[in-house]
Chains A and B, each alone.
Chain A
Amino acid sequence: MPANLNLLCACGLLLLAGCATEPWVKPYERANLANPIMSFNRNPVSASYLHHVYDSREGARGAGIATGGGCGCN
């Protein structure tokens, strides 16, 4: 999957570029970002449950927004 690796590296470099620059979004410009609909995890309990569903039914795991124990997967 070399294309995937290239994409990953590109995303990493994009973030790295962000670190190397002066802050450009001032605090008074962050009203939209503060809106609750802009959260990666607006409903943590619900999201955690859905991740548990996928972790139990699929072979891939990790890099999600929640973790849990146990199986319940038969």
Chain B
Amino acid sequence: MPPDTVSLRLPGLLLLLLVACQAGAAVLPEERADLLYHRYDGGGVEVDGPSVLVRKNLGSSVSVGVNYYVDNVTSASIDVVTTASKYTEKRTERSLFVDYLREKTTMSLGYTYSDESDFEAGTASIGISQDMFGDLTTVSMGFAYGDNTIEKNGDDSFKKHADVRSYRLGVSQILTRNLVMSATYESIIDDGYLNNPYRSVRYRDSDTSLGYAFQPEVYPDTRNSSAFAVRGIYYLEQLGSAVNAGVRFYEDNWGIDATTYELGYTFPYEENWIFEATLRFHQQSEADFYSDLFPYKDAQNYLARDKELSDFTSTAVGVGASYEFGRSWSLIDRGSLNIQYDWIYFDYNNFRDIEDGGAVGEEPEYSFDAYVTRIFASFWF
């Protein structure tokens, strides 16, 4: 698909949906509190921390939510160990959400502030959703603006900025009494310093004992991306369970094309249990200016050896269990205890494991497993 085909056609299509559909019973977000512990362990990176979300109504038409989230990072990833030293850091994120319900329209405002030693991000968002056709259809749109400040530990003079603008359009449609589908389009425009200031690219250098050397990566200062996703959930009446599936198509002007498939199965067991199983597969092409090994220093204007911009696949399998309790308690309507565990396998097709030895440019291709755990309690009141 030409780079701008999706960008030009899909907004038009979805805007047409907005015009074609007439206005029709929206509800505020659920009043709930969630206390979560998360942990990621993979590729030499360990990240863990808490996340707390509280959502409460003020009257019958306003909902307020707050979220507090922490990442404690210890990293000895392949990117770090080949050019720098293992490090630890903490990222804290605070969010505030307000939703206002008027008849069948919900308006949303949000602000998120994220802070770590070398990265500061403030993101403001606004959104509106409209229920239509006896609530069979919900159309939503949103805009978010992020202002990022990038610094570099150990270099007080280094300070860069980047802006992120996100435009989002979505439609959710009840198709039958057992099937709901949604379509979401999002365009994201980045502008500013988009590099990772610590990462380097590798180039051949016969003057070194290794046969290669490193220089800082150089990214373009703009990035335009488009993503379109279709998802559906189908209720299996005979089993009392639900199966969900989704696909997302992505492309950007850096030359990355990606497709992501998701499949899930959720089933209650006896009165209190809900179990779920998920599969996810992602494949992407590499950025135009990516190379695992450049032929010489300053080989081109833009240079990247970020494995996230390389050609790779990731495959994930997840399982989860929820135990619900307290339906008759006075303080809360109900609560649940939950655990979810995902295994993700990242398999790179043009990113070599230079720690593993071999002739220059012929080292084994890199891959790693990651394990993602979430343990949380949810309360509805």
Contact = CB atoms under 8 A, between A and B. Distances in A.
Given A23-B134, A59-B309, A45 B67 contact: yes
A56 B346 CA distance: 13
A52 to B, nearest CB: 8
A37 B121 contact: no
Interface stretch (B2-10, B210-218, B357-365): B2-10
B75 interface: yes
Given A62-B187, A64-B229, A74-B77, A1 B71 contact: no
A43 B38 CA distance: 13
Nearest to B84: A74
B217 to A, nearest CB: 13
Contacts of A62: 166, 168, 186-188, 225-227, 250
Interface string B272-287: 0010000000101001
Interface string A1-24: 110110111011011101110011
Q: Is the interface of B mostly helix, strand, loop or mixed?
A: strand
Contact of A1 (B77, B249, B310): B249
Contacts of B228: 8, 63
Contacts of B47: 72
Contacts of B178: 32-33
A58 B258 contact: yes
A69 B123 contact: yes
Contacts of B175: 18
A38 B180 CA distance: 8
Contacts of B71: 70, 72
A5 to B, nearest CB: 5
B171 A15 contact: yes
A30 to B, nearest CB: 6
Contact of B38 (A24, A49, A68): A49
A74 B198 contact: yes
Given A62-B186, A69-B123, A46 B136 contact: no
B241 interface: yes
B17 A12 contact: yes
Interface residues of A, number: 57
| Residue from A26, A49, A63 having most chain B Cβ neighbours under 10 A | A63
Nearest to B285: A59
Contacts of A18: 133, 136-137, 173, 175
Given A5-B5, A62-B166, A12 B308 contact: no
B308 A59 contact: yes
Contact of A63 (B180, B198, B248): B248
B114 A68 contact: yes
Contact of A37 (B146, B237, B268, B309): B268
Contact of B119 (A2, A44, A59, A71): A71
A74 B314 contact: no
Contact of A58 (B225, B284, B287): B284
Interface stretch (B98-106, B201-209, B325-333, B371-379): B371-379
A42 B177 CA distance: 19
Interface string B9-20: 110011011001
A25 B166 contact: no
Given A5-B5, A50-B372, A73-B196, A35 B133 contact: no
Interface of B: 1, 5-6, 9-10, 13-14, 16-17, 20-21, 24, 34, 36, 38, 40, 45, 47, 51, 53, 67, 69, 71, 73, 75, 77, 79-80, 87, 89, 91, 93, 112-116, 119, 121-123, 125, 132-137, 144, 146, 148, 166, 168, 171-178, 180-188, 196, 198-199, 225-231, 233, 235, 237, 241-242, 244, 248-252, 256-260, 266-268, 274, 282, 284, 287, 308-310, 314, 338, 340, 342, 344, 346, 370, 372, 374, 376, 378
17 contacts: A4-B1, A5-B6, A8-B230, A15-B171, A16-B20, A26-B134, A32-B235, A33-B178, A38-B233, A43-B340, A43-B378, A58-B258, A59-B258, A63-B248, A67-B144, A68-B93, A68-B114
